[in-house]
Chains A and B, each alone.
Chain A
Amino acid sequence: MSAGGGGAGEAAVGVQRSERSIRKGAGMALLLLVLLLVPRFANNYYLEVLSEAWLYVLLCLGLNIVVGFAGLLDLGYAAFFAVGAYTAGIVTIRLGQSFWLSLPIAVVTATLAGVIIGGPTLRLRSDYLAIVTLGFGEMVRITVRNLAITGGASGLVGIERPHLFGYALHSIGAFYYVFLLLAVLGIVASHRLENSRIGRAWKYVRSDEDAARAMGINHAAVKLAAYALGAIFAAIGGCFYATKMTAISPETFTFNQSLLILLGVVLGGRGKIPGVILGALVIVIFPELFRDVGSMRMLVFAVSLLLIMLFRPAGIWPERWR
């Protein structure tokens, strides 16, 4: 947008802008209302798929902090998801504690894991970063597969479903609201982070690390914060995933899972929150749409991914780089 114009013009732009933001706010409210009313009309299948979609919105937003905001490649993001899920499993099954206790523990563990994974990667540039994060992801998966406390290859079964204000989270309808709430919280948090001091630091490091360092930004702390915060998103998602499924096993946290989440972020438009949300919806809902195609559904999914990237090379709804 060009800067010129007189005072009157500027005022007009201001009015336009406030009008637009009111309209935008009204649109959001309407959308949220519709989403809140969905369980009244939709059957369990739609609720399952939509709950999964909200979970992936949260996961993709978390990875977006690392990949989108800070510009670091991460091919082992499923590890943090596993940290959350297994924390919930261990806290409820092995320790016999309340599910809610697993949330703070998962946050702490994920922060630690994020720093541990982020640490060695600080010296590395993108593609070496890819293999290191991939390696960490695999190490976490193999470790939970081998340990007795994580139930070995069979995983953990019988994870407690929690109560909230005396109301049991039992039906898929209830979980729909839980995951919708998580997604909304994830969106709000992402938005706040993006426009915060650290958000600007991430983008600075992303676009020119050397310049950022010269300006006094502690690039190590900034990158570690990205890994840790991204990890927290996934860990919280993991806790609720575990309690929804009531059973978890190492096969959920493979390299393919990490790739799928990355797919959502890049497909939607990394760095752009609405884009990432859209990307998450695509990776969950598209394969479901193609269920009726039968055994060819992943083939159709692959073709549609390819087409989307060809027509929207920077993602469906990309960030405008300034």
Chain B
Amino acid sequence: MKRRTILAIAGLFAFGLGGAGPAHAADIKIGAQVPTSGSEAPYGIDMLNAIRMAADQINAKGGLLGEKISILPGDSACDPQAAVNAASKLVSENITGVVGGYCSGATLPTLKVYGDAHVPFVITASNSTELIGANPGNAFMINSTGFDQVKTAVALFKAKGIKTLSIINEGDAYSANLAQLTRKAWEKMGNKVVDYEVVSKGQQDFSPVVTRIRERHPDAVFWTAYYADGALLIKQLRQGGYTGMIALGDGNNSPKLFQLAGAAAEGVYCFSNPTANFLPAAKTFIADYQKQFHQPPGPYSALSYDGMMLMAHAIKVAGSTDKMKIIAALKATHAFPGIAGPISFTKENTLARSNFVVLLGKGGQWTLYTGPGAPAAP
């Protein structure tokens, strides 16, 4: 009995290690490195959907270089080791390029894996400045960095006559970083942060924080984490009687916020890439996405869609699946028309120009805010 069980388990291992067969050999394989398990899965699935949708649309129009694109998902689980495993597996399956990258901590160690194999990598969500230094040259970041967002945020606060600020984050690298940068910039201008809160991911009850905010009555509350928990915070802030300004980081740019927060999301501000329905291309994107997946896109869906389109464009320019040529083509990208704004790269392979805009919640959807403090039109 014992021996048989052990043999059976050994057999399973052997099966798994040998049995990972390749997809269709002729396809152009693109990896999609996003978390599809664990607490970050909602955001990862939003991205994967968009990448798939882009590939489907390209395939429907006859594919790329006469071949079909097939998407190989690599679950990073938002964990460095799992991400490295996923990346190594994608490389071993001879992918032509990778799109995705969510959770900077998990994206970071994969840069070397893709770098060693010279695989072009379009990073569509992770935007930690740490990624820039660790980039071996094959990775391209199409999300603006935290600095750009802080600049947009502070400009809006100033124009709106905000004096005191409350900043709330979830203690993860992304939201904590944005919160700290904002605090620094805000205090440097001689203003005050009267309340700085760290809440737990997945927390449903924000009432202690709401009471605290009412006690300190800041002119504005800035939430730097994501929409799912943010929706609850907005609702509870308004129900708790807070009437000041509420501003949200770019992880909240999703129509889903309105489904979850309802009327409380009216009049809130969000700093984001321009993906609302005022861009014609974005409008069809939202409709297509809703049709294919029966839900609105998430905060990084549009960027992920752009990332896949950009990758396809670079492969077309390179005229082959030669990875070095694709990297060169990506590097030469100039004003590629993404639905989240035009894409060009700096010497460091980051987005050449911040295209942050300010969105305003109005009538159950995001609209472009053009009042005082809004950045110049992209």
Contact = CB atoms under 8 A, between A and B. Distances in A.
A and B: direct contact (Cβ < 8 Å)? yes
B79 interface: yes
A242 to B, nearest CB: 10
A320 to B, nearest CB: 11
B20 A292 contact: yes
B85 A48 contact: yes
Nearest to A285: B13
A134 to B, nearest CB: 15
A153 B173 contact: yes
Interface in B107-163: 108-109, 112-113, 128, 130, 133-134
Interface string B68-96: 00000111001111101110110110000
A288 B92 contact: no
Contact of A154 (B17, B36, B91, B104): B104
A191 interface: no
Contact of A249 (B2, B15, B173): B173
Contacts of B79: 251-252
A278 interface: yes
A297 interface: yes
Contact of A247 (B12, B16, B80): B80
A211 interface: no
B105 interface: yes
A118 to B, nearest CB: 27
Given A155-B105, A297-B75, A312-B5, A252 B81 contact: yes
A295 B37 contact: yes
B92 A154 contact: no
Given A154-B173, A158-B133, A251 B105 contact: yes
A45 B6 contact: no
Given A288-B16, A316-B6, A157 B89 contact: no
B180 interface: yes
Given A45-B88, A289-B16, A157 B176 contact: no
A36 to B, nearest CB: 17
A45 B90 CA distance: 8
B172 interface: yes
A46 B18 CA distance: 10
Contact of A145 (B17, B104, B171): B171
B88 A295 contact: no
Interface string B35-51: 01110010001000000
Contacts of A312: 5
A249 B105 contact: yes
Interface string B301-342: 000000000000000000000000000000000000000000
B105 A247 contact: yes
B73 A249 contact: no
Given A154-B177, A295-B37, A288 B109 contact: no
A88 to B, nearest CB: 14
A317 interface: yes
B9 interface: yes
Given A155-B105, A158-B133, A294-B73, A44 B173 contact: no
Given A45-B88, A157-B134, A245-B80, A281 B171 contact: no
B173 A45 contact: no
B7 to A, nearest CB: 12
Interface in A12-68: 43-49, 52
A245 B87 CA distance: 13
A167 interface: no
A185 to B, nearest CB: 21
Contacts of B112: 246
B37 A298 contact: yes
Nearest to A171: B116
B81 A245 contact: yes
A289 B12 contact: yes
Nearest to B129: A154
A298 B35 CA distance: 12
B332 to A, nearest CB: 29
Contact of B91 (A44, A241, A311, A317): A44
Which of A52, A153, A316 counts the most chain B CB atoms within 10 A? A153
Interface string A276-309: 0010011001111101101101100000000000
Contacts of B103: 251
Nearest to B179: A153
A135 interface: no
A79 to B, nearest CB: 17
A154 B128 contact: yes
A155 B6 contact: no
Nearest to B13: A285
Contact of B130 (A46, A145, A157, A287): A157
A282 B10 CA distance: 10
Contacts of A162: none
Interface in A129-187: 142, 145, 152-155, 157-158, 172
Contacts of B88: 43-45, 47-49, 172
A47 B16 CA distance: 14
B16 A285 contact: yes
Interface in B174-216: 176-177, 180
Interface in A234-278: 241, 245-249, 251-252, 278
When A and B form their complex, which 4 residue pairs have the shortest distance between CB atoms, in order from nearest? A289-B16, A153-B176, A45-B88, A249-B105
Given A153-B172, A155-B105, 17 more contacts: A44-B113, A45-B89, A46-B17, A49-B85, A52-B81, A52-B85, A153-B176, A154-B105, A155-B173, A157-B134, A158-B134, A247-B80, A278-B9, A289-B12, A289-B13, A295-B41, A317-B6
30 contacts: A44-B91, A44-B113, A45-B92, A46-B17, A47-B88, A48-B88, A49-B88, A52-B85, A154-B177, A157-B133, A245-B81, A246-B112, A247-B80, A247-B109, A247-B130, A248-B80, A249-B80, A249-B173, A252-B105, A278-B6, A281-B13, A285-B16, A288-B16, A288-B89, A291-B86, A292-B20, A294-B36, A295-B73, A298-B38, A312-B5
Interface of B: 2, 5-6, 9, 12-13, 15-17, 20, 36-38, 41, 45, 73-75, 78-82, 84-86, 88-89, 91-92, 103-105, 108-109, 112-113, 128, 130, 133-134, 171-173, 176-177, 180
